[in-house]
């Protein structure tokens, strides 16, 4: 008499991971996410490992989490995974400031963002 199981948010041959509250602007995060869109997982991990961007470390963690979800939760083959989507969204913005000349207030915005990575298993044709 329990509740019905929730339907999956992604298809049977897909897996995803989401990372929230990343301390960087969405614009900077989207540059790194653009590096890995549409690539095979193995290649994307290599590019993130040698990227000079600070946020690439967190993007790599999210990608590894998506790979682990695909392997352990959905039983997908790791060698056939491709990054279908990697999109960025805004999160909260901390408002800070500092005093300026003539009694004014300089606004400092510290944005946060979130990242969603979706993987799909694609069979290789040889």
Class of domain 14-121 as given by CATH: alpha beta
Let me know: does 121 contact 81? Beta carbons within 8 Å: yes
The model's pLDDT over 9-53, given as tens digits with 9 standing for 90+, comes to 888 899 999 999 999 999 999 999 999 999 999 999 999 999 999
Q: Is the pLDDT of residue 126 over 80?
A: no
Asked if the model's pLDDT at residue 125 lies above 80, the reply is no
**What is the predicted pLDDT for the residue at 2?**
82
Higher pLDDT, 9 or 67: 67
Contact (CB, 8 A) for 36 and 48: yes
95-124 pLDDT tens trace: 999 999 999 999 999 999 999 999 999 987
Please, which pLDDT band fits residue 8 given cuts at 50, 70 and 90? confident
Sequence-ordered list of residues with C-beta below 8 angstroms from that of 37, at least 6 positions apart, any chain: 83, 85, 86
Residue whose structure tokens are 């989507």: 85
Average pLDDT over residues 61-82: 95
Instruction: Give the three-state DSSP class for 8.
Output: coil
The pTM is what?
A: 0.90
């Amino acid at each position: 008499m329990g509740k019905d199981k929730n339907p999956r948010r992604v298809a049977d041959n897909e897996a995803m991971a989401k990372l929230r509250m990343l301390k960087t602007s969405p614009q900077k995060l989207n540059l790194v996410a653009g590096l890995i869109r549409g690539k095979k997982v193995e290649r994307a991990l290599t590019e993130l490992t040698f990227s000079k961007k600070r946020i690439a470390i967190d993007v790599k963690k999210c990608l590894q989490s998506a790979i682990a979800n695909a392997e352990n939760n959905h039983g997908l083959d790791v060698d056939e995974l491709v990054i279908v989507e990697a999109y960025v969204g805004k999160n909260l913005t901390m408002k800070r400031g500092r005093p300026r000349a003539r009694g004014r207030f300089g606004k400092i915005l510290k944005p946060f963002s979130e990242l969603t990575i979706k993987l799909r298993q694609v069979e290789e044709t040889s």
